[in-house]
Chain A
Amino acid sequence: MSIATVFEIALAVVVLGLAIWTIAVPDTYSATVGFIAYGLLVALIWVRLDAVDVALTEAAIGGGLGGVVLLGAAARLRGTEAMTMERPSLIVRLSAAALSASIAAALAVAILLPPNPAPTLAPDVVSNAGATGMANPVTNVLMAFRAMDTMLEKVVLLLAIVGVWSLASDQAWGGRPGPRHQADPNGVLAFLARLLPPAGIVVGIYILWTGADHPGGAFQGGAVLASMWLLVIMAGLVDTPPVRSRWLRLVLVAGPGLFLVVGLGGLCFGSAFLAYPAAFAKPLILSIEAAMLLTIATTLGLLLAGAPERSAER
């Protein structure tokens, strides 16, 4: 048994143990912390499987931004949790466990019993990589071969924002999301919020740019940009923008909008919806990705900032 195998077995055991602990622990806050650590360890598993693109996304969304959303929810629930001490009845708990177990079993059957040989399009992806001028197969699939899925995924992000905003009360509609954060302007958090964003913005754009040929892309880069924005908001250096603001709405629709325009262009001038002309494939894809980077960063930041709570006036 090689060292790598020992490491993989240890990783699997730790991930399974952490998952069970996250379910079993009664305290919401502890479960949240367990889930964040779980996301980071699952990212390590993706690295071992040579799926670095997925690992980056899992670390950024599952471990990072998703963790912040859950921590915020846990902090909100803390007040009500102490009051409602009664637990759901045994039947409810048993049926919830049975439902979860059957979903896990169905997933296990789907993953463990593939037809032999497993159906795969990977050779086609590799042999057609030259069509777009980009070397990263994941980016090729996301932006060219299955571009329709990626476009709809961005529309889903917009729907999520609409869902969060619709929780606003009537008085706060159009106002600024989340509380106004106050921090010592000479404190350590404000210092970090001034020092880190210049480097973080460069890293975010670099992850987008390198995504053409290496692991990376708009979603991972957008997550880094969103975290920089949130850091500046949490340090109290800037306020969240009012959701009625026109430029904010424009940025939110920029990514899917440009995607749609290019797709319709393919219908008019090319062979099909979202068919890129071969000579312009790479510049077109890069400009869509640049617009999507802005949209994703803004959307993720606003998803974490929450529903509008305050009127736009200070």
Chain B
Amino acid sequence: MSVARDIITVAGVSAGVFFFFAGTVGLLRFPDTLTRLHALSKADNLGLGFVVLGLLPQTGGLRDGLKLISIWMFVLLAGATVSQLIARTARQSGSGE
């Protein structure tokens, strides 16, 4: 049983690390603000989502699991809002080119 949990954790966290890595490469390599935001949101949303999913089998109980999931939801909310604000500012000031 614990082996199955560990396999889920390794798989989930590895998938999360892959998305964080891809997001960071995109942030460094993409040419303008809007595409960089696009790359970054992959790391925030999918990457953290997979890390949380992978950590869920290791939690002590329902309460800890719900806390982890709510952290992911808050990051989703904050990330989406900040991306919108940055993208809007970039488009208005014309630096999105």
Chain A positions near chain B (C-beta within 8 angstroms): 188-189, 191-192, 195-196, 199
Chain A at the B interface: SS class: helix
- Measured in the bound complex, the distance between the Cα atoms of B77 and A196 in whole Å is 9
Considering the complex, give the chain B residue whose CB is closest to the CB of A189. B85
Query: Which B residues touch A199, using CB under 8 A?
Result: 74
B76 CB, min distance to chain A CBs, angstroms: 12
A188 and B84 form a contact (CB under 8 A): yes
B77 near A188 (CB under 8 angstroms)? no
A202 to B81, CA, bound (A): 21
**B70-91 interface code vs A (CB 8 A; 1 in, 0 out):** 0000100110010011000000
How many chain B residues sit at the interface, stated as a range, is under 10
State the total of A-B contacts with C-beta under 8 angstroms: 13
Complex formed: what's the CA distance from A189 to B85 in Å? 8
Q: Which residues of A contact B85 (CB under 8 A)?
A: 188-189
Knowing that A188-B85, A192-B77, A196-B77 touch, tell me 10 more A-B residue pairs with CB under 8 angstroms: A188-B81, A188-B84, A189-B81, A189-B85, A191-B81, A192-B78, A192-B81, A195-B77, A196-B74, A199-B74
Q: Which A residues are CB-close (under 8 A) to B77?
A: 192, 195-196
Q: Is the interface of B mostly helix, strand, loop or mixed?
A: helix
Chain B, range 45-96, C-beta contacts under 8 Å to A: 74, 77-78, 81, 84-85
In the complex, how many angstroms separate the beta carbon of B54 from the nearest chain A beta carbon?
A: 16
Tell me, in angstroms, the Cα distance from A65 to B12 when the chains sit together.
32
CA distance A299 to B96 in the complex (A): 38
B74, B81, B85, most chain A CB atoms within 10 A: B81
Shortest Cβ distance from residue B28 to the other chain A in the assembled complex, whole angstroms:
15
Give Cα A192 to B74, complex, Å: 11
Which residues in B have their C-beta under 8 angstroms from that of A189?
A: 81, 85
Determine the chain A residues whose CB is within 8 A of the CB of B81 once the complex forms: 188-189, 191-192
Give 13 CB contacts A-B under 8 Å. A188-B81, A188-B84, A188-B85, A189-B81, A189-B85, A191-B81, A192-B77, A192-B78, A192-B81, A195-B77, A196-B74, A196-B77, A199-B74
**Nearest Cβ distance between residue B61 and chain A, in whole angstroms?**
15
In this complex, what residue of A is CB-closest to B70?
A199
CB-CB nearest 5 A-B residue pairs: A188-B84, A192-B81, A188-B81, A189-B85, A188-B85
Bound complex: CA A191 to CA B80 (Å): 12
Q: Roughly how many angstroms separate A199 CA and B78 CA in the complex, as a whole number?
A: 13
Residues of A within 8 A of B74 (CB): 196, 199
Complex CA distance for A287 and B77, rounded to whole angstroms: 33
